[in-house]
Amino acid sequence: MKKLIRLSKSCISNLEKKAVERVLSKEHLGMGDEVQVFEKKLKKMLNRPVVCVNSGTAALHLALQACGIGAGDEVLVPSITYVSSFQSISATGAKAIPCDVNENNLIINLKDSEKRLTKKTKAIMPVHFSGSVGELDELYKFAKKNNLRVIEDAAHAFGTTYKKKVIGSFGDITCFSFDGIKNITSGEGGCLVTNDKKIIQSSKDARLLGVINDTEKRFSAQRSWDFDVKRQGWRYHMSNINAAIGIAQLKRFKLLTKQRQNSCKYYDSLFKKQNKIMIFKRNYDLEVPHIYVVKINKMKNRNNLRKKLIKLGIQTGVHYFPNHKLSKYKLNTRKKLKVTDKIYKKLLTLPLHPDISKNDIKRVVNSLSKVLL
Ligand SMILES: *Cc1c(COP(=O)(O)O)cnc(C)c1O
């Protein structure tokens, strides 16, 4: 059998390995100077204060909590997203309201969202699907008009720019994920970014079980013994090991970005020569793609198709099974999600990671065309 082409994977060099070794030798694995440095470097890139946590989901949860969102509140979110967006909302006690997406970019549809507004709606969580952000200005206008907080789920979009500004450098609150396969990884991890000082301070405390000002202590290799707790907190802080990996990945980010962008451009160029497989129009000079998704109108049985591809050594994925079809969230859906219900069955995610070669991509495209015959 031919070499397996993985759907996604971490891309690790000697830089990350040495960084981890360095932290291990110092024998300070918890939250300390490495996390502080990682936050500083992210702040420099995004030009706003950053709070690092142990996952993107934790970042979303803390952002919502810091906005005071909880029981009795509703948050608009596209149904096509990782279940993490939904779980972060329900974790606060608020209700996640599944919204429809635009057919052309799989981004939350504002006309549809408008119909789902109620007196309880407190926030909207757009998801930057595959690194694309859609019309963010329109989204912010919509939020302003309806007095909503915006928590951007930018888990896919680290490095993407919108109107010459990098995602995370503007807007209300932006949350990134650094899990193993994202645009940069820290092993596991995430962060939230905002100019809102209250959100920053409350998230800093909440990541360390609500212990007030413990972050500052940890950064000077101490901890609080004599402290107060006023609000619910969590064990969401990032470890020095994870931060060290993240710092190394940041150093390599330009290269990792180019590799992802070039691979998507190459996929696009190959798919343009046929008409069975529809690509999503993206500008890969401005976006950093996390996944490469295609739409296959004639797809009859995706599971069968995926099985055939795996026999040819090609791993594929599905982004995403709609959340409004999950037992936990289906009762939150008042009106039909027409585009979502139609489109999700046609989506297929093809292998993409920084180490994929042109030959791999050719093999993926040829194999897919062959099994679709
Ligand atoms: C990865 C991801 C998250 C959550 O990030 P974790 O670090 O895995 O918790 C949230 N939303 C989307 C769309 C994601 O892909």
CA of 350 to the centre of ligand 1 (A): 18
Average pLDDT score over residue span 157-175: 98
Residue 9 lies in a domain: no
Distance 342 CA to ligand 1 centre (A): 24
Q: Are residues 241 and 318 in the same domain?
A: no
pLDDT digits (tens, 9 = 90+) for 17-42: 999 999 999 999 999 999 999 999 99
Residue 38 lies in a domain: yes
Q: Any idea what the CATH number is for the domain that residue 163 is in?
A: 3.40.640.10
In terms of domains, do 166 and 289 share one? Answer: no
Q: With 70 as the cut, is the pLDDT of residue 274 above it?
A: yes
Instruction: Identify whether residues 347 and 236 lie together within a single domain.
Output: no
Rounded to the nearest whole angstrom, what is the distance from the C-alpha of residue 366 to the centroid of ligand 1?
30
Ligand 1 closest atom vs CA 189:
7
The protein residue whose alpha carbon is closest to atom 6 in ligand 1 is: 56
* Residue 285 belongs to a domain: yes
Same domain, yes or no, for 124 and 272?
Answer: no
CA of 58 to the centre of ligand 1 (A): 9
Residue 2 included in any domain:
no
Average pLDDT of span 276-292: 97
Q: Please state, in angstroms and rounded to a whole number, the distance separating the CA atoms of residues 267 and 13.
A: 25
Could you tell me the CA-to-CA distances from 259 to 135, 188, 341 in Å, in that order? 26, 22, 33
Residue 192: closest CA among 306, 280, 64: 64
Q: Do both 127 and 48 map to the same domain?
A: yes
- Domain closes at, from 251, 278, 300: 251
247 and 258 part of one domain: no
Predicted local confidence at residue 147, as pLDDT: 98
- Ligand 1 atom 2, closest CA: 155
CA of 176 to the centre of ligand 1 (A): 8
List the domain range (segments joined by +) for residue 28: 14-251
Query: Does a structural domain hold residue 31?
Result: yes
Report residue 275's pLDDT band, with 50, 70 and 90 as the boundaries. confident
Sign of CA dihedral 130, 136, 140, 142: negative
Atom of ligand 1 nearest to the CA of 129: 13
Distance CA 31, CA 158 (A): 23
Cα–ligand 1 centroid distance for 370 (angstroms) = 33
Residues with CB under 6 A from ligand 1: 55-57, 81-82, 84-85, 127, 153, 155-156, 177, 179, 190
Lowest mean pLDDT among 86-95, 174-183, 272-281: 272-281
Residue 1, pLDDT above cutoff 70? no
Ligand 1 atom closest to the CA of 190, numbered from 1? 7
What letter represents residue 11's amino acid? C
Do 295 and 358 reside in the same domain of the chain?
yes
Ligand 1 centroid, distance to 298 Cα (angstroms): 30
pLDDT reported for residue 146: 98
| Best residue among 77, 89, 153 to mutate for probing ligand 1, ranked by most atoms within 8 Å of CB | 153
Identify the CATH number of the domain in which residue 269 sits: 3.90.1150.10
| Phi, psi values for residue 273, rounded to 5° | -85, 5
CA 142 centroid distance within chain: 22
Please say which residue of 251, 283, 298 terminates a domain: 251
Same structural domain for residues 172 and 294? no
Q: b or e along 73-108 (b: 16 or more beta carbons within 10 Å of the residue's beta carbon)?
A: bbbbbbbbbbbbbbbbbbbbebbbbbbbbbeebbbb
| Cα 249 from Cα 178, distance rounded (Å) | 10
Q: How far is the CA of 126 from the centre of ligand 1 (A)?
A: 13
Whether 7 is in a domain gets the answer no
Same domain? 293 vs 237: no
From the CA of 82, how far away is ligand 1's center (Å)? 6
84 lies in the same domain as 222: yes
In this prediction, residue 315 carries a pLDDT of 98
Tokens of 8: 């996604």
Indicate the top mutation candidate among 8, 61, 81, 179 to test ligand 1's pocket, ranked by most ligand atoms within 8 A of CB. Answer: 179
Band of residue 209 on the pLDDT scale cut at 50, 70, 90: very high
Specify whether 41 is located in the same domain as 178. Answer: yes
Percent pLDDT > 90 in the chain is 95
The model's confidence at residue 223, banded by pLDDT at 50, 70 and 90, is: confident
Mean pLDDT of 294-323: 95
Dist. CA 318 → ligand 1 center (Å): 15
Query: Which of the listed residues 57, 176, 290, 352 should we mutate to test ligand 1's pocket, taking the one with most ligand atoms within 8 A of CB?
Result: 57
pLDDT tens-digit series, residues 103-159: 999 999 999 999 999 999 999 999 999 999 999 999 999 999 999 999 999 999 999
Counting the structural domains of the chain, the total is 2
Last residue of a domain, which of 251, 276, 298? 251
Evaluate if residue 373 carries a pLDDT over 90.
no
Is residue 6 situated within a structural domain?
no
CA of 175, closest atom in ligand 1: 10
Asked if the structure places residue 72 within a domain, the reply is yes
Specify whether 356 is located in the same domain as 263: yes
